[in-house]
Amino acid sequence: MSGAHVLLVEDDAVARSAVAQNLAAHGYAVAEADDAAAALRSWDAARPDIIVLDLGLPDLDGQTVIRRVRREAATPILVLSARGREADKIEALEAGADDYVTKPYGIGEVRARIAALLRRAGGPAGEPMGVLRNGSIALDPARRVVTVGGAEVALTPREYELLKQMLGAPGRVLTRGRLLRAVWGTAYSDEGHYLHVYVSRLRRKLAAADPAGDARDLVEAEPGVGYRVREAAGE
Ligand code: CA
């Protein structure tokens, strides 16, 4: 990922400079912006490979930057969000941000998230009907068949849709709202308890099909937000 162009948007000059210097020392080309207007000017002038975006900016909300970028490109966006601002984080993910780090963050964590997003952005895209794999799990959308360790697993239609969403988002956070809309077709509402029940059931079925394997660890809960899917293993 050396040489990747990072647009770093953060109004706290001390934090921004620390992150910028660290990224530069690891071979990234860093452009800095201290508010949303500067971020959008930089975005227009030179499309970066990834955007690292503080949500609390002095002029426009960081969400405005996300929506504007998403209208024009699929450039990965990593959000920096303040602790306790769960609603902002969820709004950002639903507006199209790809991942987040909660402040105060470690620079190593920021770098790892950037590297993961760039790896995925550079990976094969535009194959929505291909077989989705993660570890021992494989889902064939053409045949609607799920196998774990090569053995077919019977899933209900909703469990199947849930798993499909998860396998399609390796290394990413899926918000409860996104999963509810995708699987139940409902608006973002307080039906989150269904999700917990279905995720638990799906986990049990996957684990039962592969007791010694990694199927149970496909997702971990991200408290207050949703679920993080592990990076696709075994490919
Ligand atoms: Ca800020």
Tell me the residue type at 167.
L
Q: What is the pLDDT along the chain (235 residues), one digit of tens a residue?
A: 568 999 999 999 999 999 999 999 999 999 999 999 999 999 999 999 999 999 999 998 899 999 999 988 889 999 998 877 888 888 999 888 989 999 988 999 999 999 988 887 765 444 446 899 999 999 998 888 999 988 899 998 889 989 999 998 888 899 888 888 888 776 655 666 778 888 999 999 999 988 788 888 899 998 888 999 998 765 4
From CA 218, how far away is CA 235, in angstroms rounded? 14
In 3D space, the residue among 11, 17, 14 whose CA is nearest the CA of residue 36 turns out to be 11
| 171 and 120 Cβ atoms separated by less than 8 Å | yes
29 - beta bridge partners?
Answer: 5
Alpha helix locations (H) across 5-58?
13-25, 36-45
* CA 104 to ligand 1 centroid distance, Å: 12
How far apart CA 164 and CA 179 sit, in angstroms, is: 10
Quote the tokens at residue 119: 């790896």
Buried/exposed code over 11-29 (b: 16+ C-beta within 10 A; e: otherwise): beeebbeebbeebeeeebe
Domains of the chain by range and CATH?
5-121 (3.40.50.2300), 132-229 (1.10.10.10)
Coil, helix or strand at residue 195: helix
Cα(9) to centroid(ligand 1), Å: 9
For ligand 1, the distance from its centroid to the CA atom of residue 54, given in whole angstroms, is 6
Q: How far is the CA of 40 from the centre of ligand 1 (A)?
A: 16
Ligand 1 midpoint to CA 58 (Å) = 7
pTM of the shown model: 0.72
CB count within 10 Å of CB 203 equals: 15
> Cα of 185 to ligand 1 centre, how many Å?
35
Contacts of 193 (CB under 8 A, 6+ apart): none
Distance 80 CA to ligand 1 centre (A): 9
Asked if residues 34 and 56 have their Cβ atoms less than 8 Å apart, the reply is: no
Q: Is the peptide bond before 104 cis (omega within 30 degrees of 0)?
A: yes
Distance 11 CA to ligand 1 centre (A): 5
Give the distance (Å) from ligand 1 centre to CA of residue 198.
37
Sequence-distant (≥ 6) Cβ neighbours of residue 159 within 8 angstroms: 198, 201, 202, 205
Phi/psi of residue 225, nearest 5 degrees = -120, -55
Assess contact for 206 and 148: CB atoms under 8 A.
yes
Q: What is the pLDDT of residue 214?
A: 84
